[in-house]
Chain A
Amino acid sequence: MAKRQVMFTFPQKLIKEPIIYNLGKKFSVITNVRRADVTENKGWVVLELEGEEKDIEQGIKWVTAKGVRVDPVIGDIMQG
């Protein structure tokens, strides 16, 4: 089992969709929300994903394709 800590940023059109719920169901990934803030026009959620490496990978690909921005919780590692 692997763990991945990520931040999802949702555009307005996706705020009402149960994306995190579907991610868990479709890909056998356990989603564990730690911090979040959602307003009417934008939202972000910090969460931990737990599951098989390949399921996590595929799950992240799926949410990204839906239009959610996925970033590492630790921010950009790459620096100038």
Chain B
Amino acid sequence: MSFATALRCRKCGQEYPLQPVNLCEFCLSPLDVSYDYKAIAKVLTREKIAAGPRDLWRYQDLLPVSSGVVDIGAGFTPLVKAERLGKELGLEQLYIKNDCLNPTYSFKDRPVSTAITKAKEFGFDTVACASTGNLAASVAALAARTNMKAYVFVPSNVEPGKLVGIAIYNPTLVTVNGSYDDVNRLCARLAEKYKWGFININLRPYYAEGNKTLGFEVAEQLGWRAPDCAITTAGSGLHFTRIWKGLEELSMLGLIGPVNTRMYVTQAAGSSPIVNAFQAGSQHVHPVEPNTIAKSIAIGNPADGYYALRIVRQSGGDACAVPDEEAIAGMKLLAQTEGIFTEAAGGVVIGGLKRLAASGTIKKNELTVAYITGAGPRTQDTVADIVRPFTVQPTLESFEEVLGMPV
């Protein structure tokens, strides 16, 4: 059974039944899942969670799904103490939440797990999404797992190599002749016309909730406490807001103490509408044209930008835009200190963390968690220049000569 009770408008509070809809009819603001927290408090304990499965479904009581979950083993990824990276950045209590280690190599397996489980409950036989990478792979994999049809829309100018990690799960892969905006517009129209579960349209309230497990797990893995600082990226801003919601829910249920976490958001400098709004002191996030190598977070019109911005301010955090060169340096630094190969979005986090630590905004003794949300191998081209092998003849002499070994 599920403890979810209704969908509620974030702006005007209007309530709706738990249906596949994502916008308030009155003010056109996003809808969020509400829960019966009193009932949850009666059954949920640290022990019950600890005894649950070693994936995101250990938190099923706090997710808007009933039974028969679609499970590919998403979540419960390692939280590792980053001694070497910490030393490099001057942080003594730095942890990395390594979400590269999800079944399709990014955190998207979390929200897609809840979205597709819900799609099945609603009786959809088809799910759809628009994505060039992480989201598409996750949707295709989870759809395969539960024998649903999947339609994936991508702009036709995407590098063919990127599509392999999606096509392997055999969704209906559609390349659209046009820009990102054209794909956006087409999908909005398709969502009106076809009775599909559209991952970040009509399933979005349920999709959103899967991201809370990023907050739940970190608190559990820290021995049931919230960190002093949490830092991650924002594309749409959604997972950033849900890390916070996850921590707040645990606190409200008495599973952890009060949350004093400062929330830090990073974006690529070439696509930073949320950071721009923060720095301008604005309430509204004005859309931009993205131009960055960090494609997985290149979102010009972030659906949850306003809410992400509010959490940065409310929590006493900060927002940081990171140029592509610093993101690449961040990718290399993380790989070469902690052995974690992230995509450019993770490099943005490390680049931002470096700046915030250097300026003393994040202090060296503060317990800081950096979320690394996706793995690097899907977008190897961003760091292709790293490959500079020594070329030798198959002789000992040649090896020693070329590498200058002491003979």
Contact = CB atoms under 8 A, between A and B. Distances in A.
A11 B155 CA distance: 28
Contact of A79 (B22, B236, B305): B236
A46 B29 CA distance: 9
B114 interface: no
Contacts, number: 93
A40 interface: no
A34 B28 CA distance: 7
A78 B201 contact: no
Given A73-B23, A76-B180, A80-B295, A9 B287 contact: yes
Contacts of B185: 72
Given A71-B287, A78-B180, A79-B296, 8 more contacts: A35-B27, A35-B29, A37-B284, A74-B188, A75-B302, A76-B300, A79-B235, A80-B295
6 contacts: A5-B23, A9-B287, A75-B302, A77-B187, A78-B183, A80-B298
Interface string B8-28: 000100000000001100111
B253 interface: no
Interface residues of B, number: 45
A76 B286 contact: no
A14 B93 CA distance: 51
B162 to A, nearest CB: 10
Interface string A16-52: 0000000000000000001101000010101010000
A69 interface: yes
A8 to B, nearest CB: 11
A5 B180 contact: no
B326 to A, nearest CB: 19
A72 B131 contact: no
B134 A71 contact: no
Given A5-B28, A9-B286, A78 B23 contact: no
